[in-house]
Structure 1
């Protein structure tokens, strides 16, 4: 009997069961949200790519940030839109692992990119005379690769370890597949020891990312205290980054809370918390940077004015 139930080929997602009476409204809102996220991110990416004046480290990293937002949302929205039109919410075993990989690597990449962006701001404000030699094209390329490949490799290791587990249930009480949810379905708790160890190592690595961001801004703030010019640069270029960092931390903390204590919350609230990072961050980040950074704002408004 145990062997039969451990060979899971499909998962049934039950996160939408409580809201299916409003499927038309939810589909419309979700579709509009996804379209707007794609629009604002693509506009920012295309603006940076086409304007040679923006081929600078700060804008390249911002472009990377927006691309990662599109990557994460693409792993979620098409599937949830399909589920809102379906009476049965099913995903294949391999499809579930791929979605979990995308969600995992998206969140980790966001923090990695934020750490690299904080380093860029540290060099720009604390070591301005050496900025172009330190943040060379080769260095920026390496940092971009680091912010994408390292999270992807760590996430892949976690997912591969999850794929070896024997599962005793095909039912996931969430809107989408997450690695820790799949691990909870394992038949024998002893099988998850290695998974837990690797997960804790991953958490420690990204805690160091957070500490690095704090370290960077300690030096940035110390440098800005006695310089009006640096204070202006801080307000212009660092505030959007800090806003994005705040959005990430709040949504991530709510996600951790949902992971640990979500079983005591109503399903609707669990669903809202589960998708916060996939709505607020990709939605707000392009707006924050587009409105705050003068060069981007002028290029976008100039393009709109020219077309009209």
Structure 2
């Protein structure tokens, strides 16, 4: 946007866009997003409550699951204000500084999710490859230190980004392509030298998604090597079944991330609706699916849910 003297400046507000080709304010669109938020928030709150109150779930695996549920709540609540205002109330403006705050929290929680999934893969690696040392390696203090380390890493790597955006002038309008604020989207409407933003963004992606995914793959390679040594086929399947929930959670998170990255880099001519829908999948699907995955695939979680309902009916 240009000021009165013709120089670029930062807009007071930014205009958000819903889904290209779909008019905001439609009841069915708003209903879909409300259902997604309800499933995500209720599901993750249920996991947190269940792990807190059920003594049988006071184990390292479920402490990491609580971290994942808490982080997924953060992802959902970060996008909720602007998404609901855009689709439910047809109000699609957000203050510039508020947009930067939302951008910071969305990306921070997203990168934290990758770190938590890595910690959960370490949990499975120790449980399967070194079962006798499981309790001594993954103590409460070590789990707390890992959680704080993930938080610190994500916070410190993302902290400069609002300031890197704040320094830029905006001369390409104030219309964003999503119903929430993302760093790449803000770069599309900024002018001036954005090389620093791009370099920092690439570094953070490699330092988080890249490194985390490599170590997750490595941990499962070692797990598979240990499982193949087991003679009994039934025992091998039983051991692998303890990893299925985590594998599904990893796929639910990384497949959309990879898809968004591939479309952004190799299919730049894709219709805008493709970019928007994939970004929505990346932000909305994992927080919604993770509680469902662990409720269906984890026997202890199912038992805890049934026990809770029996107590409620008693």
Q: TM-score range by the shorter chain?
A: over 0.9
C-alpha contact (below 8 Å) 1:175/1:271 kept by paired residues = no
C-alpha contact (below 8 Å) 2:92/2:179 kept by paired residues = no
1:256 Cα deviation from its structure 2 partner? 1.4
1:296 to 285, 289, 301: 301
Q: Which residue of 1 aligns with 2:157?
A: 154
1:147 Cα deviation from its structure 2 partner? 2.0
Q: Which residue of 2 aligns with 1:192?
A: 194
The verdict on how the C-alpha distance between 1:22 and 1:37 changes in structure 2, with shifts beyond 3 A counting, is same
List runs of 5+ in structure 2 lacking aligned partners.
Answer: none
Task: Supply the distance in 2 between the matched residues of 1:254 and 1:221 (Cα, whole angstroms).
Answer: 26
1:119 to 118, 122, 128: 122
Q: Which residue of 2 aligns with 1:180?
A: 184
Q: Which residue of 2 aligns with 1:202?
A: 204
Quick check: which one's helix share is greater?
1
User: Quick check: 1:171 aligned with 2:175?
Assistant: yes
Map 1:219-258 onto structure 2 (within 5 A): 219-227=222-230, 228=232, 231-258=236-263
Task: Supply the distance in 1 between the matched residues of 2:274 and 2:309 (Cα, whole angstroms).
Answer: 39
User: Quick check: 1:80 aligned with 2:83?
Assistant: yes
Q: Which residue of 1 aligns with 2:29?
A: 26
Deviations 1:75-133 (A, max 9, x none): 11232111123444111101111111122112211111111111111111111111111
Deviations 1:267-286 (A, max 9, x none): 43332211102222111111
Task: Supply the distance in 2 between the matched residues of 1:79 and 1:35 (Cα, whole angstroms).
Answer: 16
Task: Supply the distance in 2 between the matched residues of 1:205 and 1:270 (Cα, whole angstroms).
Answer: 24
Deviations 1:252-274 (A, max 9, x none): 12221343356533343332211
Task: Supply the distance in 1 between the matched residues of 2:311 and 2:83 (Cα, whole angstroms).
Answer: 37
Give the 3-state SS of the residue equivalent to 1:11 in structure 2. strand
1:180 Cα deviation from its structure 2 partner? 1.3
Task: Supply the distance in 1 between the matched residues of 2:141 and 2:45 (Cα, whole angstroms).
Answer: 25
User: Quick check: 1:46 aligned with 2:40?
Assistant: no
List runs of 5+ in structure 1 lacking aligned partners.
Answer: none
After TM superposition, the structure 1 stretch with the greater mean CA deviation from structure 2, 232-241 or 5-14, is 232-241
User: Quick check: 1:129 aligned with 2:132?
Assistant: yes
2:271 to 248, 263, 266: 266
Give the 3-state SS of the residue equivalent to 1:18 in structure 2. coil
Task: Supply the distance in 2 between the matched residues of 1:270 and 1:174 (Cα, whole angstroms).
Answer: 9
Task: Supply the distance in 2 between the matched residues of 1:17 and 1:219 (Cα, whole angstroms).
Answer: 45
The verdict on how the C-alpha distance between 1:267 and 1:155 changes in structure 2, with shifts beyond 3 A counting, is same
Task: Supply the distance in 2 between the matched residues of 1:88 and 1:252 (Cα, whole angstroms).
Answer: 28
Task: Supply the distance in 2 between the matched residues of 1:175 and 1:260 (Cα, whole angstroms).
Answer: 22
1:142 to 123, 145, 161: 145
C-alpha contact (below 8 Å) 1:6/1:187 kept by paired residues = no
TM-score (norm 1): 0.92
The verdict on how the C-alpha distance between 1:261 and 1:222 changes in structure 2, with shifts beyond 3 A counting, is closer
Task: Note the aligned Cα RMSD (angstroms).
Answer: 2.0
C-alpha contact (below 8 Å) 1:14/1:174 kept by paired residues = yes
Task: Supply the distance in 2 between the matched residues of 1:87 and 1:74 (Cα, whole angstroms).
Answer: 19
